[in-house]
Amino acid sequence: MPTRRTAALLLLLTVLTSCARGGAREGGDPVPSPSAPPRTTAAPSPVADPTDAAWLQLMIPMDEQAVTLLGLAAEKADPRLRAWAARLRSAQTTELAELRRLRDRMGLPDTDLHKGHDMPGMVTAGDLDDARTAEGSAFDRLLVAQIRDHLHQSEQVSRSETTAGTRAEATARARALVTARGEQLADLAALCAGKAADVPEPFACPSDHPV
């Protein structure tokens, strides 16, 4: 069952979709009155489905911020976390490139609609500032807590896209993301339990939002 934070993010996706649909209506051609002759216009170019667009424009900044945080782990994290963070950063960098290509194919702007927003699963500018100044175990706890939340929330919202979206390549990308998140969360759980192949010693992961 989604947590309250997940429910809030799903609600946000619904609101974004509603706004996008409303904006498309308001920006479209005016509805002719019964007495007006029908207008002859060229066929409109295909536009992105609002649900697909809202999901994609949320996932991209979520991944961007997470990749930035994971990049700090190379020098600041406990050695037991570095290999995990490097693998995840590589996977999410590849994922981010695929999401951006999909955004371009859908004709969406590259504007970050969520810049400055504090929402579930989003690593904020303040979180990054805290990570840059944190040292030792304080950094490790922040890293694990933020990335775990990012993985959980992006999985839930992407799962919603798989059923609510309409563009085949968008829903396929969302399904791939859900699968990847399951594997990434399992990887983190193994690390915390001392069952990771390359880190046999358990790492003391934060107890809130258990993996």
Q: Domain boundaries in the chain?
A: 48-109+118-211
Query: Which tops the pLDDT comparison, 89 or 18?
Result: 89
Instruction: Supply the DSSP symbol for 208.
Output: S
Of all residues in the chain, what percent carry a pLDDT higher than 70?
A: 66
pLDDT at 118 exceeding the cut of 90: no
Q: Partners of 199 in the beta sheet? A: 196
The whole-number pLDDT of residue 10 equals 52
Question: Over the chain, what is the mean pLDDT?
Answer: 79
What are the φ and ψ backbone dihedral angles of 142, each rounded to 5 degrees?
-65, -45
The average pLDDT across 104-122 equals: 75
User: Is the CATH code 1.10.8.50 the one for domain 48-109+118-211?
Assistant: no
The C-alpha atoms of residue 8 and residue 15 are separated, in whole angstroms, by: 10
- The DSSP secondary structure of 124-142, one letter per residue, reads PHHHHHHHHH--HHHHHHH
The DSSP secondary-structure symbol of 29 reads: P
Given a cut of 80, is residue 125 above it in pLDDT? yes
Find the mean pLDDT for residues 164-187.
Answer: 97
Q: Kindly report the CA angle at 155 between 153 and 159, in degrees rounded to 5?
A: 120
Q: What 8-state DSSP symbol labels residue 36?
A: S
pLDDT at 191 over 70: yes
Residue 205 pLDDT: 79
What confidence category does residue 32 fall into, taking pLDDT thresholds of 50, 70 and 90? very low
- Supply the pLDDT for residue 120: 81
- Which amino acid appears at position 150 of this protein? H
Of residues 118 and 50, more confidently modeled: 50
Which residue matches tokens 């992006």?
154
Between 9 and 79, name the one with better pLDDT.
79
- The predicted pLDDT at position 100 comes to 97
Residue, of 23 and 179, whose pLDDT is higher: 179
* Band (176; pLDDT cuts 50, 70, 90): very high
Res 156 pLDDT > 90: yes
Q: What is the pLDDT of residue 31?
A: 39
Confidence category of residue 183, pLDDT binned at 50, 70, 90: very high
Phi, psi of 43 (to 5 degrees): -65, 135
Tell me the pLDDT band of 119, cut-offs 50, 70 and 90.
Answer: confident
- For 100, the enclosing helix (H) or strand (E) is helix 79-105
Category of 209 on φ-ψ map: left (φ > 0), alpha (ψ -120 to 50) or beta:
left
